[in-house]
Amino acid sequence: MAGNSSSGQGATAAGAALASDRSVEFVLNQAGTPDKFCAALAKMFGVRPKEVALMRLEHGLLKFLFPEQLKTAGSIPVSSSSSVAAHTASSKKTELFNTFTKVRHARVFETVKLTNPEEEDKLEHTAIQKLMSAPVLTPERKVLGVIQISRKGFDVGSAGPDFNVNDVQQLEQAAKVAATMPFMLDASVK
């Protein structure tokens, strides 16, 4: 009888995970633009929208689709050795850093103001403390882009909870949904 109980719990956990994946898919499939998609991701992970980045790969460069302010700030060559996003794209692996300030990385995009002066809050001048970075891949494992979720703060403690394995799994599911979205598939869609 004990065997039935534990297998029942396993089936329940598997069913809950499947239901969670389907709800992530449903919510994100309703978000037809990069802005709406990233707003949904921010809500899903309990971060501010400006702590979400979405990039599309075009001609060897990762170009920002979100946040809006980074669209004109430049792009990231996939060959860059100092970019976490480039490493994520080239390795095709999800990465998790709960002590991101210790990771050697290019900080150029962190210096871009993401709000206008009247919206600026005290957290505008904080650094990325925690980061998850996932590749957006086609079923054939061709890289379409990268999604990053961060937590900013004055230090690791003020940035909020650590990201965990469940968060990574949800981000990977979100990346699968992103791979089907027109804004990731068609460079002419803005």
pLDDT in tens, 155-176: 999 999 999 999 999 999 999 9
The answer to whether the CB of 137 falls within 8 A of the CB of 144 is yes
What is residue 119's three-state secondary structure? coil
**CB burial of residue 21 (10 Å; 0-12, 13-18, 19+):** middle
In the prediction, which pLDDT does 72 show? 84
Both tokens assigned to 5: 């109980």
Q: Mind listing the domains of the chain with CATH numbers?
A: 2-185 (3.30.450.40)
Any idea what the Cα angle at residue 37 is, between residues 35 and 38, rounded to 5°? 65
| Statement: residue 113 has pLDDT above 60 | no
More confident of the two residues 99 and 109:
99
Surface-to-core class of residue 86, CB atoms within 10 Å of its CB (0-12 exposed, 13-18 middle, 19+ buried): buried
What is the tens place of the pLDDT at every residue in 90-108?
A: 999 999 999 998 886 454 4
Is the peptide bond between 49 and the residue preceding it cis, with omega within 30 degrees of 0? no
At residue 30, the pLDDT reads 81
* Closest of 129, 190, 186 to residue 154, by C-alpha: 129
* pLDDT tens column, 34-92: 999 999 999 999 999 999 999 999 999 999 999 988 888 789 999 998 899 999 999 99
Q: The whole model's pTM is what?
A: 0.79
